[in-house]
A and B are shown apart, each in its own frame.
Chain A
Amino acid sequence: MYFKPDKPFKKLLAVMTISSLLPVMISCSEEKPPVQDEKELEGSVSISGAFALYPLAVQWTNEFAERNPLVRMDISAGGAGKGMTDVLNGMVDFAMLSRDLHDEEREKGAVDYIVGRDAVLPMVNASNPLIDRILEKGITNDDAYRIWVSREYRTWGQFLGTGEKIPIKVYTRSDACGAAQTFAAWFGSKQDDLGGTAVFGDPGIAKAVSEDPYGIGFNNVAYAFDSQTARPVEGLYILPVDSDKDGKISPEERFYDNKGQLVRAVEADKYPAPPARNLYLISKGVPTDSAKVAFLRYVLGEGQSFNEPSGYVQVSADAKARSLQLLDDATGQGSLKKNTTSGIVTLFIGLVALLFILLIVPAFMKTLTARRVYRQKLSSVVMFILTIASVILVLAMLGGLLAKSLPILRENSLWELLTSSEWKPSARKFGFAPFIMGTIAVTICSIAISLPLSLLTAIYLTEYSRKIVQKVVYPALDILAALPSVIYGVWGILTLIPLFGYSLITASLVLSVMVLPIMISLFVEIFSTVSRDMREASISLGALKWQTTRKVVIRKSLPGIFAATVLALSKCAGETIAVMMVCGSLAQMPTSLSSSFYTLPALIGNNYGEMASIPLYESAIMFSALILMVIVLIFNILSRVILYRIQKNSQ
C-alpha cells in the first residue's frame, strides 16, 4: 500500500529546496569583499556599547564615512556591558566603554584607547518644592552614599538637615553601565550597591527623574544637557557637587549653567573624578585591519575637534601618544578577522546539497515503482527526523543550559543559590531568592486578577450572551492576543506607571491583561465541550442558568480550568520585556503590592550584556534561565497532559 499523494510531496520538496536555498543566497550576497585596496580605504568598522560615548561616536563615524565612502560603519548603543560582551565575542570591532577596564577583561585581550572624557552628574527634578535650597546646598559624596547605598536619607528634609517630610525617590540604572559604576565609585561603592528604582539607559533615567518631582538620579553630560541649546534638559536641574564639603555651593563650584562651562570645569579637574571619567574605545587585541586602524587614528587625531562642542573633554597628549604607540607596534603583524558566520553558512549549504542529492537520486532509477518507493521512504525518514528533532531540542536546551551553569553550581550549593537573597555579582554572591520570589509573586498576582475576569467573561460569552456581543468581544480578544508583549509594556509605562509607579501591582495588571485572551479562549473551548444534554437536564429540573453553570458546566470543566490556568501561569512566569519595563528591577524580596521587584526573565534580559566581564556572571545568567525553564516545563507538561485528556474525551 503506497502512499498516494506523490505530487504534493514533489511540490513541497521543491518549495523546501528553493526556500532553504534563499537564506544562503541572501547571506552569500552579503559577504563583504575581503580584498583591501591600498589607495582607497575599504572594509567595515562596527561599534557598540556605552550610551555615554554614543553621541560623540556617531559624529566620528559620520565624518569618517564621508571621507571614506567605501568603509561601512555600524554603530549602536546598548550600554558599556553590552559593548564589552560584543567586542570580546568578536561581534563588533570596537566597544565604547565609559568605565575603566576590569582586569578580567584585560586578560581576555581587551585593549583600551582613551578617546575622550566626560562626567556623570547627579540630577534632580526641577519642580521639587525645595529646589532652591537643594541647589544651594549641593551634594557631597557622603550625601550620595546616604541616598543611594545606606538609604539613611529617606526624605529631602534629612538631606537638607531640616524637617520636611518630602520623600526622596531614588533612581538608578538597570543595565550594567559605566555611568552607574563611575557614579558609585565616587562614594566607594559598586553598581550592585546602588538602591532605588532601576530604569534602562541614560534616556530612561532622565525621563524617570523628570517625571517624578521628588526624584533624584544621575546621568552623563551628553544626556544632562540639551544638545540644541547646551542648557540643562528641561524639567531637570543638575545637582551641584560640593567638593570642599562646606555645606554650600561657593561661586567657584558653580559651573553647571551650560555644557561648555562644565566641560571646562572637568578639564581643569574642578569637578571631582570620579564621577568625571575617561571614555574608551576597546578592541580585542590591537587592530591591524587598515580600516579599523585608520578609524582609530582619525578619532585620536582630527576627530577630537568634535569633543568640545558635544560636551566632551579632549584626550590629553600623553594618552594619545600611548594609543598611537600601541597601533604602531602592532602594524606589520598581519591578522585576519575571524568570520564567525562562515561556519554556519557552510553547514547550511552542506545540508541543502545533501537534500538536493537525495532528491536527484530517483532520476537514476529505472522503474517508476522503484522511484516511488524511494521517494516514499525518503520523505518519511526526513519527516521522522524532523518530528524527533522537537524532542531532542527540548533535551538539548536543558543540557546546554545545565552545562553552562555548572561553574556556579560547583562554587555554590544549589540550596544556597535558591534561598540566599544577597545579589552582589561583583562580590561573587549570587542569591536567586529575590528573583524567584518576584517571579512567583507577579505570577500569582496576575492570575488572581485574570482568572475571575476571564472565567466570568467566558461564561458570559458561552452561556448568556447574544451573537452580537460575541461578534464584538471575539475580535477584541483577537487584537489583544496578536499584540506583541512589548506593546503591553509600553501601555504599562504610559498608563499604569503614572498611577502605581514601578511596582508589583503594575506588572501584575500588565500581565493579567496579556494572558486574558489565552485564558478566555481556552475557557470558551473547554465550556463548549460540556454537552448540551447535561445543561438541558439541569434546566428541566428547575435550575436557573447560573445554577446550571456553577453546578454542571464549571464542575464538569474543572480539570480544564485548572490546566488553562497553569498554562497562563507559565506564560506569566516567562514573560520578559513587558515585566522588565515596569518592574523597577530592584533585587529585593517583594514585600508589598507597591514595591519594586525583579523576575528571572528580567534578570536575564537586563544583564546578558555584562556576561563576559564579570567571572561567573554568565554562569549565573544561564542558571537563572535553567530555573525558569524547569519551572515552565513542569507547568506546561502538567497542563498539556490534562488538556489532551479533555480533548480526547470530548471527541
Chain B
Amino acid sequence: MKKIKSKYVEEYVMRALMILATLLVLAFVASIIWTIFSKGLKSLSWDLVTKIPGKDWNTAEDGGFLNAILGSLMIVIPAAVIGACVSIPVVFYMTMYKRRTSRMSYIARLAYDILYGIPSIVYGAFAFTIW
C-alpha cells in the first residue's frame, strides 16, 4: 500500500516540476523579448536605420547606424555565398558518392561538426595567424 502511494506522490511531484521547468523556459524567452523591446522600442526611429552617425553621435542623439546595418550585410552576404559554394558540393559528395557509413564520410562529418563547435573567437585568433 505504502509503495503504491509513494509512486503516485513521485509522479505528481515530478509532473509539477516538469511544468515548472517548462514555464521557466517560457519565462526566460518572454523576459528576453520583453527586455529588448521595452528598452529598445522607445529609441527606435526611422532615422536610426536610415542615417549614418552624425558628428556628435556618441554624446547626443545624432544620426543612426545605417553604416552598421550595411556593414553586417556586406559581411554576411559574401560569407554566406562562399559558404554555400563549399558546402553544397560537399553535401552532394557525401550523400551521392560516398555512403553515409563510409569511413571517409564519417571523418568528414566529424570534422564539420567539430568546426561548427569551435568557438568563434578561436576562428578570429586563427585569422591573426594567417596574417
Contacts and interface: CB of A to CB of B under 8 A. Distances in A.
B120 interface: yes
A488 B121 contact: no
B85 A384 contact: no
Interface of A: 3, 12, 16, 19-20, 22-23, 26, 54-55, 58-59, 62, 77, 89, 203, 222, 226-228, 379-380, 382-384, 386-391, 393-394, 397, 400-401, 403-404, 452-454, 456-457, 459-461, 464-465, 469, 472-473, 476-477, 479-480, 483, 487-488, 490-491, 494-495, 513, 516, 520, 544-547, 567, 570-571, 573-576, 601, 604-605, 608, 611, 618, 621-622, 625, 628-629, 632-633, 635-637, 640-641, 644, 648
Which residue of B11, B35, B78 has the most chain A CB atoms within 10 A of its CB atom?
B35
Q: Across the A-B interface, give the 7 residue pairs with the lowest CB-CB distance, nearest first.
A: A574-B119, A383-B93, A625-B125, A400-B129, A456-B21, A460-B18, A227-B59
Contact of B89 (A386, A491, A573): A386
Contact of B21 (A386, A397, A452): A452
A269 B109 CA distance: 66
Nearest to A61: B55
Interface in B55-95: 55-56, 58-60, 78, 81-82, 84-86, 88-90, 92-94
9 contacts: A391-B107, A394-B118, A401-B122, A472-B26, A546-B7, A574-B122, A636-B117, A637-B114, A641-B110
A393 B7 contact: no
A459 B92 CA distance: 36
Nearest to A75: B53
Interface in B104-131: 104-115, 117-126, 128-131
A491 B27 CA distance: 13
A16 B29 CA distance: 39
A306 B125 CA distance: 39
A546 B115 contact: no
Interface in B8-60: 8, 10-11, 14-15, 17-22, 24-26, 28-29, 31-33, 35-36, 39, 55-56, 58-60
Nearest to B81: A19
Contacts of A391: 107-108, 111
Contact of B25 (A3, A457, A604, A608): A457
Nearest to B34: A495
A513 B11 contact: no
A456 B18 CA distance: 5
A604 B104 CA distance: 34
A456 B107 CA distance: 34
A575 B101 CA distance: 32
Contacts of A460: 15, 18-19, 21-22
Contacts of B108: 387-388, 390-391
A628 B121 contact: yes
A571 B119 CA distance: 7
Contact of A570 (B15, B55, B84, B117): B117
Given A383-B92, A404-B129, A457-B18, A571 B117 contact: yes
Given A457-B18, A574-B121, A640 B32 contact: no
B113 A601 contact: no
Contacts of B20: 456
B84 A227 contact: no
Interface of B: 7-8, 10-11, 14-15, 17-22, 24-26, 28-29, 31-33, 35-36, 39, 55-56, 58-60, 78, 81-82, 84-86, 88-90, 92-94, 96-97, 101, 104-115, 117-126, 128-131
Contacts, number: 222
Contacts of B120: 574, 576
Given A89-B131, A404-B128, A487-B36, A382 B31 contact: no
A483 B33 CA distance: 10
A77 B58 CA distance: 10
B84 to A, nearest CB: 7
Contact of B10 (A384, A495, A546, A632): A546
A275 to B, nearest CB: 21
A476 B89 contact: no
User: Which of the listed residues B18, B97, B110 has the most CB atoms from chain A within 10 Å of its own CB?
Assistant: B18
B114 A633 contact: yes
A473 B114 contact: no
A601 B114 contact: no
Nearest to B29: A476
Contacts of A383: 89-90, 92-93, 97
B97 A494 contact: no
A640 B110 contact: yes
Contacts of A403: 129
Contacts of B15: 460, 464, 546
B29 A479 contact: yes
Given A479-B33, A636-B118, 5 more contacts: A23-B81, A55-B58, A453-B24, A546-B11, A644-B106
B85 A19 contact: yes
B36 A490 contact: yes
Contacts of B60: 227-228
Contact of B58 (A19, A203, A473): A203
Contacts of B28: 480, 513, 516
B93 A386 contact: yes
B117 A390 contact: no
B130 A400 contact: yes
A335 B105 CA distance: 52
B93 A394 contact: no
Pick the most buried of A12, A226, A546: most chain B CB atoms within 10 A of its CB.
A546
Contact of A488 (B11, B21, B32, B86): B32
Contacts of A618: 128
A400 B120 CA distance: 16
A380 to B, nearest CB: 6
Contacts of A19: 81, 84-85
